[in-house]
Amino acid sequence: MSTLTRVTDPTPTDDAPVCSSRGCRAPAVWALRWNNPRLHVPDRRKTWLACPAHRGSLGDFLDARGFLREVAPLPGSHTLEA
Ligand SMILES: [Zn+2]
């Protein structure tokens, strides 16, 4: 088993997706789907996960660059029943 591939970041619990914002470990409840037309084919979607606190900042970051395609509640999240 190599110890080189995982440096300081043991994987958090498998069933709890965490926010993609740097340094944030909060549970993610949003999936931000985006596409960078310079890098990706048009129907490709990258997904960032966001906690409630970072949904705005991550969304704004993508939206400001014209990358944001959709924001959807994360499947399995129990904070968003609607
Ligand atoms: Zn966050």
pLDDT tens sequence for the chain (82 residues): 544 544 555 555 556 799 999 999 999 999 999 999 999 999 999 999 999 999 999 999 999 999 999 999 987 655 544 4
* Dist. CA 9 → ligand 1 center (Å): 16
* Dist. CA 53 → ligand 1 center (Å): 6
Q: Provide the residue ranges of all domains of the chain, joining segments of one domain with +.
A: 30-73
* Dist. CA 71 → ligand 1 center (Å): 15
* Dist. CA 12 → ligand 1 center (Å): 14
> Is 0.85 topped by the overall pTM?
no
Q: Is 20 left (phi over 0), alpha (psi -120 to 50) or beta?
A: alpha
56 close to 24: Cβ distance less than 8 angstroms: no
* Dist. CA 1 → ligand 1 center (Å): 31
